[in-house]
Structure 1
Amino acid sequence: MIKQEPMIDIKCEPSDNYDTVNITCEPSNNYDTVDIKYEPSDNYDIIDNKCEPSDFYETVNIKCEKEDLQYQSYDCSMDSSYKKQENSLDFNVENGTHLLSDLDSCRTIKRQGWADSTSGTYRTHLKTYVKFWEDYKLKPVPCDQQQTVELYIAYLFDKKHFAYSSIRCYINIISVLHKMHDLKDLVADFWNIKHLLTGVKRELGASQSCKAPVTPELLLNVRKSLDKSNHNNVVFWASCLTGFFVFLRPNNFLVKGTFNPEINLRRIDVLSCSWGILLRLKVIKTLQFCSKPIEVVLPYLHDHPLCPATAMSNVLALAGDPLDPLFRLLDRSCLTCIVFLNNFRFILQHMKMDQLRYRGHSFRRGAATWGSKVGLSDSAIKLLGYWSSDCFSRYVDTDIEERLKAISTFSSLLPR
């Protein structure tokens, strides 16, 4: 298990040098993010920064507040959209309130530029980067020199013991922060950094630790361990088959946190047909902008224990209103992704299996592997899994039987 380090509160107070501020870090009660509030400082060209725990867990909130409208401009160093320009914004009593309101709206819209999963990933990467520059007393943005990036790579290599693929991901936060300030991307533009990453790749290798796929045999064993008369088990089993037959991670169709009718599935989003079930999804990772309807098919497999349409019909047979959450438990709470995965791993542990080898991705990986094994074409797998590129091939596990068949065919017509 990876021990998470707590996020920190960053408090900035006026320094003796009027061109900068002093930064002190204290432990935070909020491990996800911080709010950054800007208030006028004694130096009229800069502002004092105070960071407090945020109630908004998706991203960093940047708030600019002005106690006195007599100040002429602000320099919000965390976001290039609000930096002081050569022709600074003039605030006055008449238009200051409206302008601040527009800035709030702009910040709200910009937060939507990243998907929730991306925001969560950047939070994790930012936490590690903050710990690094705090320990080494370095300037985070902009980096003083490319050696700072090289030192961070060495820090991730020696101190954090990350894999090569993780190091590549974690240093991306430096690129993101610099782009936010309209600064040069040090990671992409310097040969020495690319060369150092090549050395890390050669030292550690580029292999990734992939989670085990969910197979049809595993699903059959899971089904045997469930009491089908239990309300919660009916909902859980339908979720298992939905993830497998729709090639989706559970967080693509289950609730993450609080139920949102604009995103999460309701009973009204399920349509029974003669051939099976038509499920209307709102948003998934590969189709985030609702550019077209996301309609997935759950076929009827008559008298088959893995029939997804039958499992979904059993969910619809439970008491509920059309606008209720689709995957609702007996206590009227929603089946969340975390609860689902915890229950799935508990069942695997009860079956004497290594439950740590399985995650939400295991359903998507298992579906792609099974599709390849039964002879589906690459285009068919991409269609069912909503892949727009060939990255799905990383999910497909080729077993030893297929390799043996291939080499037998290869060898059968050799001349004697």
Structure 2
Amino acid sequence: MWTASLAPRTVTTYSTGYQSYLNFLIRYQLCHPLRNHHQLPVISEILLQYFIAYCFSVLHVQCATVKNYLAGIRFVYLRAGIDTCLDHPTAPSMSRLQTLLRGYKKLHISSTKKRLPITYNILTCIVAALRNGVFGAHDDLVMEAMCSLAFFGFLRCGEFTCAKSFDPEVNVCIKDVVLHPSQAKCAVNLKTSKTDPFRQGVTVNVFATSGSCCPFSSMRLLMFVRLQCGAKPCDAMFTDRGGLPVARSAFLSWLNIVLCRIGLNPSLYSGHSFRIGAATTAAHVNIQDHMIKTLGRWSSDCFTRYIRTPEDDIRRAHSSMARS
């Protein structure tokens, strides 16, 4: 139940945070490496302050990452029934740690690159390249279906790929994809996602389009191919030509190759670029905000930070203001 209380990626982040704390203690001889593994190392306010400084000067991680590391450390001790200074948010010790983190954030120069959106125009170029042949007939079809679904479904990369190994209880299976030919609709059941920690599941519908990129058509064709290959209901929907489920790393590798093929710099894009591009494209064609929120399953107006405004739109806005 302790493990189930966290999302899988949170478990990984917390484990990394706690391991980083152990490495810090061992590196500076504050903890013996051969200690009893059933006994948690010492923890105190001053050690956490030095750990924050260690993250800044040695690990060079983002301030938000340090906060997650501290949360991970707290979780480990909380599970062991040990009360720490991290459990008292109003205590003076936490105020000192928060002050250090504010200083950390001001001093740390972010190296995070701003991800560019994969808009509909870029998606059409990706699909055209795949249809001309990049990885082979099967993998090209799989990639086309994944990209089209990611864009029109406003999906996060982790929602349609698997991490390291395929889990039918988490990842998209054959049975999770239902085609409705009479409605020209493909319904995809996402069993888990970032905003669904209790795994209640959500259905994402994508419809046929009149454009060159049609998520319904590509998903229908892929479903036909998968069933022809003898795929069972609990098998992965997206597999490579060798039958292996497409992992996040494999999808991103494919994406980089295709982006290079169409003349774009892959370092400026990521798996999340489809979700950003979908929001940007929707705003560009004047889809109302409440519909963008619905399409992207946002519960707040945070989607606005995904929308990239072209300079031409700003130029036209200024011209309109001058004519008022």
Using the size of structure 2 for normalisation, the TM-score is 0.82
Alpha carbons 1:125, 1:170 under 8 Å: kept: yes
Which among 278, 295, 298 is matched to residue 206 of structure 2? 298
Alpha carbons 2:55, 2:61 under 8 Å: kept: yes
Aligned to 1:28: none
> How far off its partner does 1:112 sit?
1.0
* Structure 1 gaps, min length 5: 1-108
> How far off its partner does 1:207 sit?
8.6
Larger proportion of helix: 2
Aligned to 2:113: 209
Q: What is the alpha-carbon distance in structure 2 between the residues aligned to residue 174 and residue 121 of structure 1?
A: 10
Alpha carbons 2:236, 2:245 under 8 Å: kept: yes
Aligned to 2:294: 383
Write the deviation string for residues 55-109 of structure 1: whole angstroms up to 9, x where unpaired. xxxxxxxxxxxxxxxxxxxxxxxxxxxxxxxxxxxxxxxxxxxxxxxxxxxxxx2
Structure with larger Rg: 1
Aligned to 2:145: 238
Number of matched pairs: 302
- For residues 265-276 of structure 1, the aligned pairs below 5 Å read 265-269=172-176, 270-273=178-181, 274-276=183-185
Using the aligned pairs only, state the percent identity.
28
Q: Is the alpha carbon distance of 1:200 and 1:334 closer, same or farther for their aligned partners in structure 2, counting shifts above 3 Å?
A: closer
Q: What is the alpha-carbon distance in structure 2 between the residues aligned to residue 115 and residue 388 of structure 1?
A: 19
- For residues 226-375 of structure 1, the aligned pairs below 5 Å read 226=130, 227=132, 230-269=137-176, 270-273=178-181, 274-291=183-200, 293-302=201-210, 304-318=211-225, 319=228, 320-321=230-231, 323=233, 324-375=235-286
Which among 124, 130, 147 is matched to residue 220 of structure 1? 124
Q: Larger RCO: Structure 1 or Structure 2 (Cα < 8 Å, ≥ 6 residues apart)?
A: 2
Q: What is the alpha-carbon distance in structure 1 between the residues aligned to residue 243 and residue 206 of structure 2?
A: 25
Alpha carbons 1:235, 1:315 under 8 Å: kept: yes
The aligned amino acid for 1:147 is I
Which among 163, 172, 196 is matched to residue 71 of structure 2? 172
The aligned amino acid for 1:299 is F
Alpha carbons 1:141, 1:177 under 8 Å: kept: no
> How far off its partner does 1:310 sit?
0.9
Aligned to 1:401: 312
Q: Is the alpha carbon distance of 1:391 and 1:261 closer, same or farther for their aligned partners in structure 2, counting shifts above 3 Å?
A: same
Q: What is the alpha-carbon distance in structure 2 between the residues aligned to residue 383 and residue 254 of structure 1?
A: 22
Write the deviation string for residues 147-190 of structure 1: whole angstroms up to 9, x where unpaired. 22221222222222334343443343333344432333179442
Which piece of structure 1 moves more, 400-409 or 201-210?
Answer: 201-210
The aligned amino acid for 1:166 is T
Q: CA RMSD in A?
A: 2.6
Alpha carbons 1:172, 1:187 under 8 Å: kept: no
Alpha carbons 2:13, 2:72 under 8 Å: kept: no
Using the size of structure 1 for normalisation, the TM-score is 0.65
> How far off its partner does 1:405 sit?
3.2
Q: What secondary structure does 2:192 align onto?
A: coil
Alpha carbons 1:179, 1:185 under 8 Å: kept: no
